[in-house]
Amino acid sequence: MRNQRLKHTLLFMGIVCMMFFCKFYDAYADTYTDGRIIVKHEELPVKKNGRHIQFDHPYEVAGNVITNALSYIYFEEKGLLKKKGTLRVFQDDEIRKLVPLIVQALSVATPTQVVTVSSYSERILLTDQQNYCAIFISDRNLNIAFSRIHMFQSYNDAMSEKKRYTTAKENPSRISHSRFWKLVPSAGQRLEPSHENWLVIDLSNEMYQQPVAQRVGTVDEKIKMGTSELDARLKKLEERMVAADETKVNKPITSVRENGSESKIKSKLVILREMMEDEIISEEDYDYKKVKMLREAMGDMSIKEQLQVIKDLKIEGLITEDDYNEKKKELLDQF
């Protein structure tokens, strides 16, 4: 009897130890993922003033501080075809996924480990743009060194399992500049000397300690949030389209495509384009929503029907020649 109780006790203790070990292992994982976003611990040597440094890790930091820090990272493009003005490095959909992963990774990193981030955010048709950076705490400042900002990835590359879960081990702190972009410091930020790709952020700055402001980032959020002006303009545009439809001569239905999914896509793209022209949404918002529609709204069509739809959209100017060629290539590859 006593032996049986001892066995039960030992079994119970073993189960508890296994549960603790599993929980411990999860909390101290080396890699954290959310979709195509990957946050990892990496043993990367970093030099400051010619000397290798150790990091102030592990480091506990609040989510709102990291959210504000990522939200105020800007860059400028270089070259003849550069976009004007400063651009945000991270989009709101990226930040929402990144923050909990970065907070967790910093809280368990060792003094020799940086936190590397590989993230994607859909911006234009069938192409995603990748950011890659190393994050670490030194002298109680948040350091973020980039090796890639908005680097174009083809749709097939971005979605392949190898590209999705495997990133080349690189050290952004060893890079001093890029031919295509440079970081633009905001309040409480400075560039590491002799670097255009490395920001040093003073987390004690009041701007980063503030609660996260309610942001309306993507076009989906803007439509969902709504304003009286936006709702009024949408209603006006929809009424205009309905009126235009009523003036057309009734035609027999020749296919599901003509009166079904295609008409819905056209209607939404027309509304979105007019919203962009009225400066209710940005061109980036329009491109983002256009991507989602062409990827998701035509899923119930045959490849032939999809080819006809994108041809019609190109003729009507709702998508560009590049959009059409990229989508056509993707569809033809599915044969």
pLDDT of 234 above 70: no
> What are the residue ranges spanned by the domains of the chain?
2-209, 219-333
Q: What is the pLDDT of residue 266?
A: 81
157, two tokens: 């590359």
pLDDT at residue 326, rounded to an integer: 81
157, 217, 181, 205 alpha-carbon torsion, rounded to 10°: -130
Report the predicted TM-score, pTM, of the whole model to 2 decimal places: 0.59
**pLDDT class for 255, splitting at 50, 70, 90?**
very low
Residue 231 has pLDDT above 50, yes or no: yes
Q: Which of 79, 99, 173 minimizes the C-alpha distance to 132?
A: 173
- Is the Cβ–Cβ distance between 281 and 273 less than 8 Å? no
| 231 or 112, which is more confident | 112
User: What pLDDT, on the 0 to 100 scale, is given for residue 41?
Assistant: 96
Percent with pLDDT over 90 in the chain: 37
pLDDT of residue 254: 40
Burial 211-236 (b: 16+ CB within 10 A, else e): eeeeeebbbeebbeeeeeebeebbee
Q: Each residue of 49-81: pLDDT tens digit?
A: 889 999 999 999 999 999 999 999 999 998 877
Residue 195's pLDDT is what? 97
Rounded distance between C-alpha atoms, residue 258 and residue 161, angstroms: 36
Provide the pLDDT for residue 139.
93
Alpha-carbon gap, residue 231 to 235, rounded angstroms? 6
Residue 190 has pLDDT above 50, yes or no: yes
Tell me the C-alpha distance between 57 and 333, whole Å: 47
